[in-house]
Structure 1
């Protein structure tokens, strides 16, 4: 005779498994009871979403707040939309896709506000995972549409134009740009170890950029690990290698003081992190033994070189995604940086024709108004320097 306990287990086990399967299938149905949550439906998006309500209202009655919301005027937004609309438009399969206009609004608000993707999801009544895809695809599309027109076209005439602007605005001759790197702080990437860990104690990737005299980026290298130095990144980057090869069509050296003045090459302005080369000018090493001439040279170089720092500052102030660690994968973070660099140049270039008082994105500083390019002309009368 079999043990009664064994008979009981054999008798109840099949019934128990059946009950468990029923409960599990009911739980699965509960988890999948929504194809789309009601608050994210197309109807609620139209009735309560920011795109068809708040944004439309600001566009009609309050352009100032619209600019604060998207960092550009409605006219400039529509121009950008016309460039990106084809790449942002999706085909209709089962449901009507989210319009390209709404997709671009999601991307711009994310970059301009620095809010989380979850907050953007609730504001626009779009699912979180859809918002994530929209931001990645939208940033990539902005980069694809603007990169050819927003950045410098490399040729001799354009380099000369940049140098003339630096001479006029910052009183530094034969300067074709200021170069520096910016650490873009990230949430620590998965399994990255110390690869992106920088000297500031954060995880970051590096935006290495050159700026013209008007705070626009001319050349950019994006994606280097935060642990690397600016000089090392430049040396191994495509930009640095092309400068080294001489393939960027730099103008021939020219005189800086009339026919009798010294003939000097065209150079970038960098800080101590960069090596001194025939195309890179850096300050004299910091020392109490510097004479007056060297101190004046360092001052003039730093005055021209700070343009790139100002460009980074303008971009970070306007696109507040840089005010906190970017919570995204490294490829998506690179797309975000690419998009903001393009938008930074795009807006400044379109506002350049406006008076300073009508510019929403960047304005002339008080120092520039009062001093202009003549701030250093009376440097000999500023006091004795040992």
Structure 2
């Protein structure tokens, strides 16, 4: 299958033979073992074993039988290889947060999703894990599962820009983001964001922002929808338009999660490993997710196996069972809005009603409840 580039090879490892060889060239030398007593397992087999485990969702015991490797050895190989994939790929496939790179991300969002000054879609997902020993309710989430949180910022092409992995499942999205290094750097203004730009003549300059759902607080760098609550059951037209335009840009991160879980079926059920290995698995699969998307970006759509299309009607992906939504929090005194953040959202709302309006938004807003 390797030499013929058989589609079954890609189905088996979730990588084409060409991409597998490219990955092996990068990570293979890092886990080449020296001969001692017995012949070591070669890097190719180690990588194939790990990719099969990640892509099939089978148990380690099942994979050990398939590759004729001891169960304990299989566990060690998977942990080491996932760590190596993360170490070697993270600087190559994730964003280096410079003003120039943020501007490139914003350009893609404006061209593909009609949202200017957007530097990413922010969201978090629960990755189900087996309850860690003696953890009590630490990792027990509101859905009734044990989980760790995968907090990500996605670009317009479904790649993950920045990640925070491993927060306890009992925490909410907003809490995880605020406490993460990413959230702290955004709050302190240490993300090298471009300077605010003017979207309309004679209008204020607007900052570059992330788009997010109701789980996050409204800040000058995070735009969230106008809330619907008991005091404001019916949103007016301009608020509905804003919510639609924000939702249209934000759902790329939902689609990115869908792609991740569809390709790497380890997410189809709770990850039955130690907590340390589970985090390594999430790190490796997110790095591989970006690695494949960036490699296939130069290929014609028909030749892509990971993400064939980014058209609006084809991005509603089904999330695998190992991902569950994180708990949404209403706006309250704990998440007080700054007056400036409110003004920024109002200016974006006005922009989408006037200069930034698109033809189809009116039908979408009138036919759906945003």
Q: Does 1:268 align with 2:250?
A: no
Q: Secondary structure at the match of 1:181?
A: strand
Equivalent positions of 1:1-386 (< 5 A) are: 58-61=1-4, 63-257=6-200, 259-286=201-228, 287-365=232-310, 367=312, 376-380=358-362
**Is the Cα–Cα contact under 8 Å of residues 241 and 362 in structure 2 kept in the other structure?**
no
Over residues 211-239 of structure 1, what are the superposed CA-to-partner deviations in whole Å (9 max), with x where a residue is unaligned? 00000000000000000000000001000
Displacement of 1:139 in angstroms is 0.2
Larger radius of gyration: 1
Over residues 71-114 of structure 1, what are the superposed CA-to-partner deviations in whole Å (9 max), with x where a residue is unaligned? 11111101100111121111111111000010000110000000
1:145 and 1:268 mapped to 2: Cα distance? 28
Displacement of 1:261 in angstroms is 4.4
Q: Secondary structure at the match of 1:60?
A: coil
Displacement of 1:119 in angstroms is 0.6
**Is the Cα–Cα contact under 8 Å of residues 128 and 145 in structure 2 kept in the other structure?**
yes
Displacement of 1:333 in angstroms is 0.3
**Does 1 or 2 have the higher relative contact order (CA < 8 Å, sep 6+)?**
2
Structure 1 runs (4+) deviating above 2 angstroms are 259-262, 365-370, 374-386
Over residues 108-137 of structure 1, what are the superposed CA-to-partner deviations in whole Å (9 max), with x where a residue is unaligned? 000000000001101000000000000000
2:166 and 2:88 mapped to 1: Cα distance? 20
Displacement of 1:364 in angstroms is 0.4
2:365 and 2:267 mapped to 1: Cα distance? 41
Aligned CA distance change for structure 1 residues 249 and 365 (closer, same or farther; 3 Å): closer
Over residues 328-363 of structure 1, what are the superposed CA-to-partner deviations in whole Å (9 max), with x where a residue is unaligned? 011100000000000000000000001111101111
Displacement of 1:60 in angstroms is 3.0
Q: Secondary structure at the match of 2:119?
A: strand
Displacement of 1:157 in angstroms is 0.4
Task: Give the count of matched residue pairs.
Answer: 325
> Which residue in 1 is equivalent to 2:331?
none
2:103 and 2:312 mapped to 1: Cα distance? 26
Q: Unaligned 5+ residue runs, structure 1?
A: 1-57
| Superposition CA RMSD, Å | 1.9
1:67 and 1:255 mapped to 2: Cα distance? 46
Aligned CA distance change for structure 1 residues 381 and 96 (closer, same or farther; 3 Å): closer
Q: Unaligned 5+ residue runs, structure 2?
A: 316-355
2:120 and 2:195 mapped to 1: Cα distance? 16
1:383 and 1:322 mapped to 2: Cα distance? 34
1:207 and 1:289 mapped to 2: Cα distance? 33
Displacement of 1:375 in angstroms is 10
Q: Secondary structure at the match of 1:59?
A: coil
2:178 and 2:111 mapped to 1: Cα distance? 30
In terms of fraction of residues, the more helix-rich structure is: 1
> Which residue in 2 is equivalent to 1:22?
none
